[in-house]
Every structure is written in structure tokens, then in C-alpha cells.
Structure 1
């Protein structure tokens, strides 16, 4: 039966060959089992369905990923700006404190010198 299939497959379209192969696979002599569906036949039937479902699904996943990426970048930029603002505030406080301390030492030295002179 396989030789008959090969000789009859010449000149047939791909779908006709697939259908003939499916028939060949399911027509075992004396077999009363359910017809076995070859994997390539399942693939040919499922491929258009998968394409219809997978393309919008993949598009949604990519769209969500890009949106999340932009949101994360925005959040990182805002956090960086907050850190820069806090750093500037702390630096300003440190400078003003060190200036006050230096001024206090100078005022204290002048007062001590004034008391010593009197």
C-alpha cells in the first residue's frame, strides 16, 4: 500500500498528499481502532488557529512590556531627581553648619581675646 501511495502522490497538491497520508495512516488492514491522526496533520490544522490566537497575544505581551519599560524608566528618573534634591539639601545644611561652627570659633576667640585684654 505504501508503494501505491508514493506513486499516486506525484503531481498532487500538498493538501491532497496530506489527506492521502492521513487515509493511509488510518487504513491498517483488519484494524478497528480509532483513526490515528499524524502529528503533521494536527500541525497543518492547528497552525492557522495558533496564528490567529498567538499573534494578538504576542502583540499584547509586547505592548505591555514596552509600557512597563517606559513606566519603570520614568520612575527611575523621578527617584534620581528626588535623590539629587535630597543631596543638595543635605550639602546646603552641612555647609551652613560648618560656616556657623567656624563663625562660632571666630566669635568665641574674639570674645576670649577681648576678655583677656580687659
Structure 2
């Protein structure tokens, strides 16, 4: 299930990224595609992080001591992607920390690259 979900999210990311960044003008559909891409990135990382937790139980720890479920991993993924970092779930395993850090970087870079693209298209008019 995890591999199928990760593959689906990867394909969706490629399709949405190509549509978003190849558009010659920014219209509503491009903004919606860019927003969808950001959300798909978050849910794709949730699948990857869930796979890590499934393969190496205990890679993530909740401060409340609660079990890490799929829903908690989706929540953690979006908190990480947006760099909020509430701290209620902590990656403690090597791969968990590596992919959480990668998601942080992707979240920041996506925002910067998207905004610079939109400003560049707007300025070129």
C-alpha cells in the first residue's frame, strides 16, 4: 500500500509541477495546480514517513505517548512541510530525521521558487 501511494504521489507531483512551471501565463488554473502540488507533496511525504515508521517502529515518538497512526503522520507531514514544528511528534530514527529534514527543505524551496516564478511572470508583462 505504501509503495503504491508513494508512486501515485510522485506521478501527481511530476504532472502538476510540469503544468505549473511550464505555463506561459498565470491564470486561476495555474494557481490551483500550484496549490494542489503543495498539498500532494505533503501527503506524499506522509506516505514516505509512514513507510519509515512501518519498517522501523519507533522512528517517530509522540510527546503524549500515543501510537503514531496514518492520520498523525499526515498531520506531522503538513506541520513539517510548512515548518511550523509544533514538537508534539518527533523523528528519532535516522531515516525519519533525514526525510523530515528533506521535507522541511522542500517546503521552503517550493514556496521560494513558486513565488519567484509568479513574480517573474507578472513582471514580464
More helix by share: 1
Determine if the TM-score, normalized by the shorter chain, exceeds 0.5.
Answer: no
Query: Which of structures 1 and 2 has the bigger CA Rg?
Result: 1
TM-score for the superposition, normalised by structure 1: 0.29
